[in-house]
Chain A
Amino acid sequence: MKSRLRAWFDGDLSGMEEFVQVTETPDATHEDFKQTELAFEESLPQNPRSRMIERLGRKSYHILYRVVAVTSCIVFIGVMLYVIGHLSRFGTDNPRADEVSRRYIESGLEETGATNIVAGMILDYRAFDTLGESHVLFTALVCVAMLLQLDRKNTRRDLEDYYTTTLDVYFRTSQDRILQTIGFFVVPFIMMFGIYVLVNGHLSPGGGFSGGAILGAGMIILSCSLGFKTADRLLTARRLNLVTFIALAFYSISKCYVFYTGANGLENHIPKGIPGAILSGGLILPLNVAVGLVVACTMYGFFSLFRRGKLGSD
């Protein structure tokens, strides 16, 4: 029984006909639905009075449905238009609402040194928020690892091969010449673009999260096309832990310094540089890199844990 169950788990349906029905019927068409409806109508009680009540009930249900849908749509549109009517006109001053954003736009470049105002906002004015976000990512990775990681107590010998080899053999990704060739040529460009978005985060659109997502996607494509052995040469479990730890610790410590000096009115010794240069913006460039590394490690860690049950080779 156990071996049969394992065979079924591996996708084998032979000898399982009494448990699993392999359907050979084509998809249902519109005529089939019509036939079903007619059959349903004929199966109704033949008493003309009850049939009439049945038809009336269905008709009133349809009418009620339409009335409720249209009414809720009109109410929603009316509420939205009412709110829009109370907003201030486009271009006029609204001192209650946009005090903070005007401060960001007017003196963001001067205070943070970043040409990209969004980067200055999320990594300087609201750096505490971003710190929490990167720690949330790290916590999610830890939780997924707790649930899915195959360790000494969480391993079933009979399923170990399934995670490591059978999936690859089943979908033939490790033998596909097209995917391997394209991955071999495309992955370096994806990595390079990810690093560009990371490092240019304070000058142009982009930054830690988007660049890290591109880097993580590059790692996933690398491990899909060229196999996990190749990806393990770049990012083992130990290195992944180390990179995540160093990035988060650097973020926390440097922001501790900035918050401490800022709250106590002390002088900040981190140079801002010339706006527009690659080495400018104070702490924004290294913080972007730290956030991006955390995001990339989290994405690749998720993929690796879901696919084979471990973060990397030991």
Chain B
Amino acid sequence: MEWLRFILTALFLGIAVLFYITAVLGTFRFRFIMDRVHSGGIGDTAALFFVVLACMIGSGEIMTILKLALVLAFMWCTSPVSTHFLGQIEYYMDRQLNRYVEREDHHESS
């Protein structure tokens, strides 16, 4: 049983590392900010989920699993909101964004 748990932990940690590599590459190589925000969001959600899953399987204690689930719930609540706000501030502040997306113009009203 012990080796199965080890293999599962290593597998999920490897998947998480793959997602993190995706996130880092996207954040540094993309030029448009929405793409970079998106790839950062992948690191915040998917990679974090696999890290926490691997930690859960690796520890095996019920209290640790519950605490890790709380951590996951908290991070899944908060990091997408900050990602959303990065995108939203870009949406309101960037005047060149009209080249990429259709939007109503908020600037003249304020």
Contacts and interface: CB of A to CB of B under 8 A. Distances in A.
A186 B92 contact: no
Contact of B31 (A10, A27, A169): A27
Given A27-B31, A170-B110, A172-B88, A185 B77 contact: yes
B107 A11 contact: yes
Interface in A179-194: 179, 182, 185-186, 189
A171 interface: yes
A47 interface: no
A166 interface: yes
B95 A179 contact: no
B25 to A, nearest CB: 18
A83 interface: no
B28 interface: no
A128 B85 CA distance: 42
Contacts, number: 35
Contact of A166 (B92, B95, B110): B110
Interface residues of B, number: 15
B96 A24 contact: yes
A285 B88 CA distance: 43
B108 A186 contact: no
A183 B84 CA distance: 14
Interface in B68-84: 74, 77-78, 81, 84
B75 to A, nearest CB: 11
Interface centre among B77, B81, B92, B108 (most CB of A within 10 A): B81
Contacts of B31: 27
A22 B95 contact: yes
17 contacts: A12-B108, A13-B95, A14-B108, A22-B95, A27-B31, A169-B110, A170-B92, A170-B110, A171-B88, A171-B92, A172-B88, A176-B88, A178-B81, A178-B84, A179-B85, A186-B77, A189-B74
Given A11-B107, A13-B107, A186-B74, 17 more contacts: A10-B110, A12-B108, A13-B95, A22-B95, A24-B96, A27-B31, A169-B110, A170-B110, A172-B92, A176-B88, A178-B81, A178-B84, A179-B81, A179-B84, A179-B85, A182-B81, A186-B78
